[in-house]
Amino acid sequence: MSDLRKPVPPVSAVPRTPLSSSLPPRDSAAREFSFSTADFERVRKLIYQHAGISLSPVKQDMVYSRLARRLRATGKSSFADYLDALEKSGGDEWERFVNSLTTNLTSFFREPHHFPIFAEHLRKLGTRRPIRVWCSAASTGEEPYSIAITVAETFGSNASHVSIMASDLDTNVLATAQKGVYPIERVDKLSPERLRKFFLRGTGAQEGYVSVRPELKNMIQFQRINLLDQSYAVKGPLDVIFCRNVMIYFDKPTQYKILSRFAPLMQPDGLMFAGHSESFLHAADLFKSQGKTVYTLAGAR
């Protein structure tokens, strides 16, 4: 974005209006498409098989609202027809199906208690060898850029030994993350110093937006990864894995499978950061809690 040039000044809080979900009524007669309980259960089965996501039974209205868009886009007149076509020859539509049903709530420095712990771990590792970090649920990019900011603040200009991989299942949010351009209200909680150092303000047609500085973008490699895959295109051993607020969408057996694939990728003293509502007590043979939803390998001292 050629006109995103000016350092960002302090941003005052901007009043926000909560988004209304505008969910359709449960009465199928009032809906554009018929949507039976059997259709919903079929969607639940397919998203679980394809992405490991365990949809709650109370998500029926959300599923209708999001997938109705795909019916319109594909010209299907019913959910049964759409799902038949998806299973028969889905192709790229599988990706759109999954993208429609995934939720990507994030913000810069979300769960802020993790970042001082991460910074201390970086200082402990120092500059003696390469450091590898994987953000496994990158969403629209706020988390991996928060990681990169922490790296830059810890090592200054001497951070070339740190590599950050950021991945997500949803290609739409990854495209946003790679651009690194956000409405200015998304950064209104960052300090003036961070805004000046790490962001550029848009002018002209880009007024009201900020862009992450190129030097921060260059620290991150973005890639689509499905956590259900048998192996991951991630170079180990990893010093840190951020896997926050994604495991809540998986059932316990699926969580265990994913954690069992994480463990061999990690350095013996590596750290894994989880979301505030996530607990891996069922995988105590793989990871042990250090408190504050930070985990180390079960065999680590």
Active site residues: 66, 168
Decide: 177 and 140 in contact? Cβ < 8 Å: yes
In SS3 terms, 104-154 reads as CCCCCCCCCCHHHHHHHHHHHHCCCCCEEEEECCCCCCHHHHHHHHHHHHH
